[in-house]
Amino acid sequence: MPHLRLEYSTNIKEALDSKELFSACHHILVDTANADLFRCQSRAIPHDLFHIGDGAMEEAFIYLEVLLLEGRSLAQLEKMEAEILNVLESYFSRSIQELNLQIAVRVVEFSPSHYLKKEFK
């Protein structure tokens, strides 16, 4: 824990390098939310089928959901959100220039009693 789930419309202009992008996000989680780097898990989900507004092909989205166990202060969460948003804006700068791009970051905190995990080595 934490888990990052990046969803995006496939009309973005950047070729997604998930290692580069997720590494930057993982380090933000370590620095701002005291996350354990080796517990961070991320995945990217492209969406070929999407409809934004009137359906124009210039409409695009980036949506990053961060799932965390509760226990961080509001200030920590706000700093984490802002820094992740800055990384996304920088990474997707070409899409920002060429498309009508919406970027959203959503943080979801939940109780450890609602999370069960087993590790096998």
CATH number at residue 50: 3.30.429.10
Is the pLDDT score of 119 beyond 80? no
Is the pLDDT score of 113 beyond 90? no
Is the pLDDT score of 116 beyond 70? no
Is the pLDDT score of 117 beyond 90? no
Scored b (16 or more CB within 10 A) or e, 1-17 reads ebebbbbbbebbeeebe
pLDDT in tens, 17-35: 989 999 999 999 999 999 9
The domain containing residue 65 runs over which residues? 3-114
**Contact yes or no for 59/52 (Cβ under 8 A):** yes
Looking at the domain assignment, is residue 75 inside a domain? yes
Looking at the domain assignment, is residue 67 inside a domain? yes
Looking at the domain assignment, is residue 74 inside a domain? yes
Looking at the domain assignment, is residue 86 inside a domain? yes
Tally of domains within the chain: 1
Q: For the whole model, what pTM was predicted?
A: 0.90
**Contact yes or no for 83/33 (Cβ under 8 A):** no
pLDDT in tens, 30-60: 999 999 999 999 999 999 999 999 999 999 9
The pLDDT value recorded for residue 1 is 80
